[in-house]
Each structure stands twice: as structure tokens, then as C-alpha cells.
A and B are shown apart, each in its own frame.
Chain A
């Protein structure tokens, strides 16, 4: 079943089997708050598969969160980001660039603990559209680097992120 789904995705792109890349990034994720944005340290992982010389399919997951405490209350907000993308890509002379778009989702959790007692929790889903870009290069055939920048637009606003990471390439030679 999974192969059929993959083929259904690839055939319209004129795809052929290519490289599989695993990426790990660290950076900042500016999460949308009620009235501004909160920058959060954000590690993320990506998997993408080169469907052709000019397209790849990607999936990513990222984490973020921030704390807001004062004398009256402890409040913790954490979030996970999930997205699927189709990327346009180009690679020349060891440098590459990608620009991708796809559905995304942020799960945002909050925990509020007043110092005088009580414990309140909740989770909201923020489905939206994920846009991501990257530029990078290779240290070797298998190992490369990249700089990324992206945005997740959803009903509550736009989350921005930027990072730097390493990519490990398996197979393919596109």
C-alpha cells in the first residue's frame, strides 16, 4: 500500500528513484503568541527523498517551547511541528538550494501552575501551510551542511524558524 501511495505521488512529477537524505538541524522557532512571537530553541529532523533532478518529497518534525514565570504563576508552553513538503531543488558545483511547500501542523501545549495552587493544561492544534527554504553544500558524497529558513502559517498567525544543520545522504546520485 505504501509503495502504491509513493508511486501515485511520484508519477505526476515524472520522478525517478534518487537519493535519500536524513537531516538534523538546530535553530530558533518563533512561536506565535497571543500578541507577539516567542523565540524558542528548536531542534528538528527531516527526511527527504529525491523524486527527480528537480523535485524531492520531504517530511520534518521539530520541537520548541518557552517558559514564562513570575511571582504568581509558572507557565510552560511547548510545541511540536510536523510538515510534509514537495521541494523544488537545484544542485550545481556542490552547492544546492531547495524551496518547498506543503501542509503543516503545530501542536501547542500549555501548562499553567499558579503558585497558590492549581494545575491547568491544554493543547491546541494549529494546522496550516508550511513553506521552507534551504541552501547547502557537501563535505563529502555522504555528508553535507545546510542553512534553513521557514514559516508555518496558521489561523493564529505565522511561526518563523531558521536553523543550521547536517545532512547525511544515502544512495542515489542526482
Chain B
């Protein structure tokens, strides 16, 4: 009895109770504040682990002719103290990893509550989210910051970036952007496995990047959600500025038009629904050979879905400004 009591006291002393976790929380308009938040799905803070997946250190990712190869690193061991019920990580990396988990849990809960629970159940748990894995690249996709790794690996890789007001991986918009890639891969698994698809990976990369931006911006209903220069959907990105071979240059045009639609409908959640519906229709249209298997063709079903919601002429004006020379819709 005495031994059991002593053991209980010892364990209690080692794992003090907490009711909230100190993280970089999102305030909107690109701003973050460090404050305690509740993260019910964080079941093991020492491992930064729960039903979303668990964190690992290092590991190795190799890009080669044979595809992607992933070697998993060891699990995280995060020290923390508890101050007045608040779990306080012992260093900034701990707070970054916990913040990443917080933002990921927030987008999962947010979208699950909007009717996409089945998608969330399919996406989570992730294989891992890996802190600073080493990478060997041959010809493409040099990763410098956060990234989603598809092709059956289904993991996030997280890197340090100190040029923002918060660490990159602790930025809510960045996390939601990367989550957008995971969602894209989940809804279009055949694009993720190019051998089985009519759609080449390179031809869908612009839509993948644009979609990830749309998920970040529309799910937060915040055009300042992405802290990267040139990715503001309010800017006058248009097809005239697209650079061949740069998936981001077309992606920002697609995301910019989605933001135009959000402003016209004055409804971010509905706009995100249209984005998803258009993704499905684009995919079905490509499989039926009714739409070209390229990113730009996504604007056709998206425009039609938006036009069914409003007769505001601003929709056509926005389309013409974003996509000059595309005469499938809104041509004079």
C-alpha cells in the first residue's frame, strides 16, 4: 500500500495536471499571440502526439527516379513544466511543434464541423510530421520550409524559418496551406498516383498550390493568412503574369479568383464549398475527357458554380481581369 502510494505520488509529481497549452495562437490578419489554448486531441504532449499523428525528429526523404523514399526518425521527447495549469514547453522548438499540432487540430475540427468529417477521417492520422528531415533531391521539389509529402507517404515535413514574426511551422496560415495539399491528395488520389491518372502531376501542381492557398485563406476567411510575398489573393494576379514551369504563378491567379468570388458572395464558407465542388467536377470532367487535364481548366466548373449563386456582373468582370484571353466564359 505504501509502495503504491509512493509510486502514485512520484508519477503525479512527474506529470502535473494542465488544462491548456502555451502556443502561437492565430489572431487574424496574419498576427499571432502566444497564449494558452486547449488542445483536447493532444493526448501525449511529451511525444507531441495524438489522433492527428505524432512528431518525429530528422529522418530522411529522398527524391529519385524510383519516386519518394522515406526513412522515419525517432520520436520527439519534449520537456515541459506546468505553470498555474498551463503547459509551458521548455524551449521555442517545443512551442513550435505544439503550435503546429494546435493549428492542425483547429483546421481538422473546423472543416469536420462543416460537413467534411469523412475527409478528415481519411486524412488523419498522418504518417508523421517530421522536424527537419534531411533530404536528397535529384531534379525537383527542393523543400526549404514546411511541405506536405504525398505519393503514399502522407507526412508533413517542417523546417525552421526565422524571417517571419513567428516561426514558419507555428504559423496558422502555413499549416492550413500544407493541410490543403493533404486534402488535395485525399480528394484526388489518382493525381497523387500519376501512373494511374490521365492528369500529369506537373499539370495539376498549379491547381494543387492554388487549392492549398484557397484552403488557408478561405478557411480562416483572411486574405492575410499567407505570410509569403506575392501570395496575397487581393493582388492583381492574372494569367498574363504566369510563368511557364512555375506552379505558384498560376496558383495565385486561381486563388485570387476564388477570393474574388468570396467577396462577391460575401460568404467564405460557401466559397470554400464551391472550391471543393469544382475540384470534384474538374476531376470528373477530365476523366470524361470533357475538360482538359490541366490546372487552368478548374476555373470552368468553379465559375459555373459561382454563377449559379449570384447574378452579380462583378463575377464576370473578375473573371476577365484574372483570365484575359480565356473565352470559355464571359467572352463578349
Chain A contacts to B: CB under 8 angstroms? 32-36, 38, 68, 70-73, 75, 77, 108, 110, 112, 114, 116, 118, 120-124, 126, 155-157
Residue B235 at the chain A interface, CB threshold 8 Å: no
A31 to chain B, nearest CB (A): 8
Q: A34 with B33: in contact, given A70-B165, A70-B166, A72-B24 (CB under 8 Å)?
A: no
A46 to chain B, nearest CB (A): 26
Please indicate the chain A residues that have their CB under 8 angstroms from the CB of B76 in the complex.
Answer: 34-35
Q: Which residue of A lies closest to B158 (CB)?
A: A35
Task: Give CA–CA (A34, B162) in the complex, Å.
Answer: 17
Q: Which of B24, B34, B94, B95 contacts A118 (CB 8 A)?
A: B34
Contact A122–B35 (Cβ < 8 Å): no
Please indicate the chain B residues that have their CB under 8 angstroms from the CB of A112 in the complex.
Answer: 22, 34, 88, 95
B115 to chain A, nearest CB (A): 33
Task: Give CA–CA (A112, B86) in the complex, Å.
Answer: 12
Please indicate the chain B residues that have their CB under 8 angstroms from the CB of A33 in the complex.
Answer: 90-94
Please indicate the chain B residues that have their CB under 8 angstroms from the CB of A75 in the complex.
Answer: 91-92, 95
Please indicate the chain B residues that have their CB under 8 angstroms from the CB of A126 in the complex.
Answer: 79
Q: A124 with B81: in contact, given A34-B91, A110-B88 (CB under 8 Å)?
A: yes
Contact B81–A123 (Cβ < 8 Å): yes
Task: Give CA–CA (A121, B89) in the complex, Å.
Answer: 9
Residue B101 at the chain A interface, CB threshold 8 Å: no
Chain B contacts to A: CB under 8 angstroms? 22, 24, 32-35, 48, 55, 57, 76-83, 86, 88-95, 97, 131-132, 162, 164-167
Contact A121–B88 (Cβ < 8 Å): yes
Q: Which of A68, A114, A124 contacts B79 (CB 8 A)?
A: A124
Contact B91–A77 (Cβ < 8 Å): yes
Please indicate the chain B residues that have their CB under 8 angstroms from the CB of A123 in the complex.
Answer: 81
Q: Which of B22, B79, B82 contacts A34 (CB 8 A)?
A: B79
Q: Which of A32, A72, A122 contacts B34 (CB 8 A)?
A: A72
Please indicate the chain B residues that have their CB under 8 angstroms from the CB of A116 in the complex.
Answer: 33-35
Q: Which residue of A lies closest to B170 (CB)?
A: A72
Please indicate the chain B residues that have their CB under 8 angstroms from the CB of A72 in the complex.
Answer: 24, 32-34, 165-166
Q: Which residue of A lies closest to B55 (CB)?
A: A35
Please indicate the chain B residues that have their CB under 8 angstroms from the CB of A114 in the complex.
Answer: 33-35
Q: A34 with B97: in contact, given A71-B165, A72-B166, A121-B81 (CB under 8 Å)?
A: yes
In the A-B complex, list the 5 residue pairs whose CB atoms are closest, starting with the nearest.
A122-B81, A34-B94, A114-B34, A71-B165, A68-B92
Return 28 A-B CB contacts under 8 Å, by A number: A33-B92, A34-B48, A34-B76, A34-B89, A34-B91, A34-B93, A35-B55, A35-B93, A35-B97, A36-B93, A36-B131, A36-B132, A70-B167, A72-B32, A72-B33, A72-B166, A75-B91, A110-B88, A110-B89, A110-B91, A114-B33, A114-B34, A116-B35, A120-B88, A121-B81, A122-B80, A124-B79, A156-B77
B264 to chain A, nearest CB (A): 34
Contact B132–A110 (Cβ < 8 Å): no
Contact B77–A120 (Cβ < 8 Å): no
Contact B91–A70 (Cβ < 8 Å): no
B33 to chain A, nearest CB (A): 5
Please indicate the chain B residues that have their CB under 8 angstroms from the CB of A121 in the complex.
Answer: 81, 83, 88
Please indicate the chain B residues that have their CB under 8 angstroms from the CB of A38 in the complex.
Answer: 91
Please indicate the chain B residues that have their CB under 8 angstroms from the CB of A73 in the complex.
Answer: 24, 34, 92, 95
B95 to chain A, nearest CB (A): 7
Please indicate the chain B residues that have their CB under 8 angstroms from the CB of A122 in the complex.
Answer: 80-83, 88, 90
Please indicate the chain B residues that have their CB under 8 angstroms from the CB of A155 in the complex.
Answer: 77
Q: Which residue of B lies closest to A155 (CB)?
A: B77
A72-B24, A77-B90 known, 6 other contacts, Cβ within 8 Å: A33-B94, A34-B90, A112-B22, A121-B83, A123-B81, A124-B80
Please indicate the chain A residues that have their CB under 8 angstroms from the CB of B132 in the complex.
Answer: 35-36
Please indicate the chain B residues that have their CB under 8 angstroms from the CB of A70 in the complex.
Answer: 162, 164-167
B127 to chain A, nearest CB (A): 18
